[in-house]
Amino acid sequence: DIQTAAGSYGWDPRLFHALVREESNFNKNIKSHAGACGLSQLMPGTATMVAKQAGISYKSSLIYDIPTNLKIGGYYLDSLLSDYGKNPMLALASYNAGPGNTDRWLAALPADAPADTWAESITFRETRHYVKRVLSTYLTYNLLYGSGPAYPDWSKFVVDARPAK
| 70-101 pLDDT per residue, tens | 999 999 999 999 999 898 999 999 999 999 99
Could you tell me the pLDDT band of residue 158, with boundaries at 50, 70 and 90? Answer: low
Residue 112 and residue 96 in contact, taking contact as beta carbons nearer than 8 Å? no
CA angle, 85 as apex, 156 and 34 as ends, to 5°?
A: 115
* pTM of this prediction exceeds 0.75: yes
Mean pLDDT of the chain: 89
DSSP letter (8 states) at residue 156: G
Active centre residues (catalytic): 23
In angstroms, how far is CA 79 from the centroid of its own chain? 10
DSSP letter (8 states) at residue 150: S
DSSP letter (8 states) at residue 42: B
Nearest to 42 by CA among 12, 62, 14: 62
Residue 87 backbone zone (phi > 0: left; psi -120 to 50: alpha; other: beta): beta
